[in-house]
Structure 1
Amino acid sequence: MSASPAPPRERLDPAFVRLALVLLIGVLAVVFDTTIVNVALDTLGGDLHAAVSTIQWVTTGYLLALGMAVPVTGWLVDRWGGKNVWLCALAIFLAGSIGASLAWNAPALIACRIVQGTGGGLMLPVLQTLLFQAAGGRSLGRVTALISFPALLGPILGPMAGGLIVGHLGWRWIFWVNVPFCVAGLILAWRLMPAFPATRRSRLDGAGLALLSPGIAAVVYGLAQVGRDGGFGHAAVLVPLTAGAALVAVFAVRASIVGDDALVDVRLFRVTSFSAAGGLLFLSGFALYGAMLLVPLYFQQVRGQDAFTAGLLIAAQGVGALVSRGPAGVLTDRMGPRWVAFAGLVLVAAATVPFAVVTTGTREWWLVTALVVRGVGLSAVTGPVMAGAYLGLDRAAVPHASIITRTAQQVGGSFGTAVLAVVLQRSVAAHADAGPAGRARAFDVAFWWSIGFTAVAIVLALWLPTGSEDT
């Protein structure tokens, strides 16, 4: 496959913009729900009289269902049409949200969260598929700017919104707030979305589904146990990780042999730019989700801020993302994704350095400024990298690319969070005798690890295409 030259700047088609707004209204519920619930876990455990080992399944069950639903989206879109799949997925998420808000005990809540995860797992790759197919290979930079913006704001604004809701309204409202987004999304999609008819009547690759969905779920589950067990060297972590990796590997080998009949076309990895984009999306988990584990904890445990104030400070990163989202998309369309993503990653690394060298006497406005710059960099990374993944792909390959990129983001986010959580735990233990200063040094170590992973991503960005070369 070869990349098309970067097209001259043109206005986005009004029909495309309308479709994007309709889809984004619905997906906002999923994006924010994923991070809002984490803030309420302690409250949920107390109100539902559930142990931590039980209540953590509110998050883990959701992530497992989401991971298992993603691989089947390509076949569903081909078989039933994009609009029908989108409406069903949004309805499933709505049903799960209402059920969760009415849950009478922990098992009922966990079951409803699994329903939510199933709907969310279908919605995110379907959103990417429909928008990239509607764009027809044009203005990919601005298309990805639209798609990636909610994903950037979710980890930033979600915890802050969750803190407000739990503190003033009660935990049930963290699920009720999804309902208006879902209802509005359903009505608008029903009235305004084009049909997106089914393109072919292929048979479901049942063997591939039996390998890939449990494989992804096992990997995500293993990574979710890392923080609880304090490292990777435990059976609860190693067994599911190993089993999941083996299932995914067997799927990849089989899919390369089966070819067009495979659940996901892994032959896309033969395209250098697509492989580079997939690797960068995985590493973005360290830069975004991993670091977003560290930053709020740093403000609370080292700087002494409460959860809500920490959330307000972190929102500065969202401001930076908002500022750079549009220009990054335009530059990607003009220059190609390589140098835009490269510059964004350099900004992310540079803006993380202050957190690795700061002292307790450093004024917080310096750190807030660094977060704004960091947001600018992250917004200049996610969109161009996603554009690089889709550049030059034909329409039939888009659903497969959506599944792979979504999986890379999800597993990368889980992996980045797990690794940096372990680094922080061990560093805190190593500096336990030094008091508050030792805790600050422990965070320094963790932030340097985050910078190191970002440096690896900077090198990988050089394999992304420019606007004038083949993939």
Structure 2
Amino acid sequence: MPEVRDDRLDPALLRLIGVTLLGGIMGILDATMVTVAADTLAGEFDSSLSAISWATTGYLLALTVTIPITGWAVGRFGVRPLWFFGLALFLVGSLASALAWDVGSLIAFRLVQGVGAGVVDPLVLVILARAAGPHRAGRVMGMMGVVLSLGPVLGPVLGGVVLESLGWRAMFYINLPIGIIALLLAVRVIPADPEGATKSRAPLDLLGALLLAPGFGALVFALTQAGEQATFGTPRVLAPLAAGVLLLVAYVLHALRVRRTEPLIDVRLFASRSFAASVTVQGLVGLATYAGLFALPLYYQVIHDHGARAAGLLVAPLGLGAALAMPLAGRLSDGLGPRSLVRGGAVVAAAGAVLLTRLDADSGEIWSAVAALVIGMGLGAVGAPTMGALYRTLPPEKVPQGSSVLYNLNQLGGALGVACIALIIAAAGKSGTAANGIDGFQQAYWFVFAVAVVILAASPLLPGRPEAPTAPEEPPTDAPREAVTN
């Protein structure tokens, strides 16, 4: 029988993708958008910058802590009601943040926003993975990757424009019309659970939640503090770092022994070489991406004396390169598999990083922008096939857990990337060897080069070419019926 493959993205599936990404993009943008308003908020509330920074740190911590619990809630309550709950909570947090009257209320309302984002963000991956099916996973994850790539870049740029034009409260009000439209469209597009589907009656693994969620949160907090302090050698970094590691080790031991309840994340998933390799590579992509996003604006501000808005615009090619490469790489990976594409992407990213190590104080902005575009394209060619490989090999019932692991490791990788670059640049400045301040930035991109080499070394562990089905693929049970018909 000839091989048959129906991998078309018909209009119904495209509508589902669009509405899902519209709901998910707000949380991704808000993770970075508020950072540009730190000085303004400090003056508005007569507060210190360290206190204001908790409006961003608290958001990230709330998001990180919520994600593992969302994986359990998917099985207990279903995707559709959880999607509406997360979006509604995020909008309530946005409205309350816009109405904040002091720094304490702003931080509290940002925590509410973070919990809402911690529900919605992993659900984006779950909804799209289930609707795509294994043989369209690469293509759909490539489209998802556009949002993941552009969100961190556009957040500060959009935040700066809104802040200067409409004021800081508008940075939160802007979520309301977008979120309301996403909610209204989701009523018609987000699929309901199939008739006869049995929801899990397993109780929440409370001990696991008390170990896993704070463990991830402590690690993110430690890495955030390391980035701000430009050192790992302070109690503010070492104490939460040690606590996070101990909590996660305790969770692993607990998850291997638990019998009466299902663990929030089944650590036995890591026994699969393809799963372990996919989530590790995706974490390295987050590390390299955020390292580049942190170092490039500083280069433009310190070496070329640009303002924050200009520096944000000049770093946009990194996200643009990833956004251009991800859809194509994702589509190709459905037929070629991820291994060869990840190898090629790692080589391209490494080449772009080498270009940036050659910059000096007299280099024009065009060369750094081209190099950033090359890095973005390389990382995009790695990210989409890797995500596709993860969802192509996961059993359907493990998709929520896989999404939790993927998202949390990407967050940890990003926080680690920022911390490492801050440490490298600070160490170069203290050494007294930096020529016109450029040496630290050159070393930062040797670090990005090293990450790309590690990705290249890990690529043989990823799956090869996927097997083609011999009959049309059955519609995924959670996808809308019209989205998967021939």
Category of TM-score, reference length = shorter chain: over 0.9
**d(CA) in 1 for partners of 2:461, 2:47:** 48
SS at match of 1:400: helix
**Contact map agreement 1:281 1:405 (CA 8 A) in 2:** yes
**d(CA) in 2 for partners of 1:155, 1:353:** 23
- Aligned match of 2:478: none
SS at match of 1:236: helix
1:208 CA drift (Å):
0.8
**d(CA) in 1 for partners of 2:231, 2:412:** 17
Of 419, 441, 444, the residue aligned with 1:443 is 441
**d(CA) in 2 for partners of 1:288, 1:9:** 33
Per-residue displacement from partner, 1:405-444 (whole Å, max 9, x unpaired)?
1111011111111111111111122237x6xx33011211
Letter in 1 for 2:231: G
Letter in 2 for 1:23: T
1:8 CA drift (Å):
4.6
Matches within 5 A, 1:331-350: 331-350=332-351
Matches within 5 A, 1:315-394: 315-394=316-395
**d(CA) in 1 for partners of 2:85, 2:264:** 20
Per-residue displacement from partner, 1:293-342 (whole Å, max 9, x unpaired)?
00111111112222212222222233323332321112111110111122
Name the stretch that deviates more: 335-344 or 99-108. 335-344
**Contact map agreement 2:142 2:328 (CA 8 A) in 1:** no
Per-residue displacement from partner, 1:137-191 (whole Å, max 9, x unpaired)?
2211111112221110012111111111122221111111111221111111122
Structure 2 CA distance for partners of 1:178 and 1:35, relative to 1, 3 Å = same
- Aligned match of 2:476: none
Name the stretch that deviates more: 117-126 or 364-373. 364-373
**d(CA) in 1 for partners of 2:284, 2:432:** 28
Matches within 5 A, 1:106-121: 106-121=103-118
TM-score normalised to the size of structure 2?
0.91
TM-score normalised to the size of structure 1?
0.94
- Deviating above 6 A after TM superposition, structure 1's stretches of 4 or more consecutive aligned residues are none
Letter in 1 for 2:453: A
**Contact map agreement 2:326 2:383 (CA 8 A) in 1:** no
SS at match of 1:103: coil
1:192 is aligned to 2:189: yes
Matches within 5 A, 1:411-450: 411-431=412-432, 437-450=435-448
1:207 is aligned to 2:197: no
Structure 2 CA distance for partners of 1:372 and 1:132, relative to 1, 3 Å = same
1:285 is aligned to 2:286: yes
**Contact map agreement 2:278 2:390 (CA 8 A) in 1:** yes
1:401 CA drift (Å):
0.5
- Aligned match of 1:3: none
Gaps of 5+ in 2: 469-486
Letter in 1 for 2:449: I
SS at match of 2:135: coil
**d(CA) in 2 for partners of 1:7, 1:145:** 23
1:362 CA drift (Å):
2.1
**d(CA) in 1 for partners of 2:105, 2:151:** 26
1:351 CA drift (Å):
0.8
Matches within 5 A, 1:223-372: 223-258=223-258, 261-372=262-373
Structure 2 CA distance for partners of 1:372 and 1:35, relative to 1, 3 Å = same
**Contact map agreement 2:17 2:128 (CA 8 A) in 1:** yes
1:196 CA drift (Å):
2.5
SS at match of 1:273: helix
- Aligned match of 1:460: 458
**Contact map agreement 1:7 1:333 (CA 8 A) in 2:** no
C-alpha RMSD of matched pairs (Å): 1.8
**d(CA) in 1 for partners of 2:207, 2:191:** 32
- Aligned match of 2:220: 220
1:375 CA drift (Å):
2.1
Q: Count how many residue pairs are aligned between Structure 1 and Structure 2.
A: 462
Structure 2 CA distance for partners of 1:467 and 1:258, relative to 1, 3 Å = farther
Per-residue displacement from partner, 1:218-273 (whole Å, max 9, x unpaired)?
11111111133331111111111111111111111221233671111111101101
Structure 2 CA distance for partners of 1:7 and 1:300, relative to 1, 3 Å = farther
Letter in 1 for 2:215: G
**d(CA) in 2 for partners of 1:252, 1:445:** 36
**d(CA) in 2 for partners of 1:458, 1:159:** 31
**d(CA) in 2 for partners of 1:286, 1:200:** 35
**Contact map agreement 1:7 1:138 (CA 8 A) in 2:** no
- Aligned match of 1:26: 23
Name the stretch that deviates more: 352-361 or 252-261. 252-261
- Aligned match of 2:12: 15
Matches within 5 A, 1:113-132: 113-132=110-129
1:93 is aligned to 2:90: yes
Name the stretch that deviates more: 86-95 or 224-233. 224-233
**d(CA) in 1 for partners of 2:142, 2:114:** 24
SS at match of 1:280: helix
Gaps of 5+ in 1: 1-5
**d(CA) in 1 for partners of 2:332, 2:135:** 14
- Aligned match of 1:47: 44
